[in-house]
Amino acid sequence: MKTECIGDGVKLKDKIYPCTVSLAMDLVGGKWKAVILYHLKNGEKRYTELRKEMPTSTETTLSIQLKQLEKDGLIARKVFGEKPPIKVVYKLTEFGKSCIPVLEAITNWGNQVVLEKGEFISADL
């Protein structure tokens, strides 16, 4: 029996969604959330490392998305030191790690789409 869309919806942290797909897309959807999670899947990274790996994302957008992912429990933020310069690292939580198979499936599908319908381009073009 399908469980994703039975009843009037699903609830997580006082937020109601019409179905589990909607809930999942709220957690990892949008242009940058899945990309951030993808870059953290192999271990923790500093903010500057994430910025370098996502050069077309603005600093504001990256900061907002990191805060939302942390609020939703997908990533953890750890601050080292009390005085500047402080070191801040981000890593996937256990909950965040549970979406790695989804990220890998999205990556594989994206690669397949490019191979069949597009092309990989060099960053120096």
Residue 4 has pLDDT above 70, yes or no: no
pLDDT bucket at 124, cuts 50 / 70 / 90: low
Q: Is 92 left (phi over 0), alpha (psi -120 to 50) or beta?
A: beta
pTM of the complete model: 0.88
DSSP 75: E
Average pLDDT, the chain: 92
Query: What span, in angstroms and rounded, lies between the C-alpha atoms of 19 and 38?
Result: 24
pLDDT tens column, 51-101:
999 999 999 999 999 999 999 999 999 999 888 888 999 999 999 999 999
Residue 125 has pLDDT above 60, yes or no: no
Instruction: Extract the tokens encoding 114.
Output: 């490019």
Residue 17 has pLDDT above 80, yes or no: yes
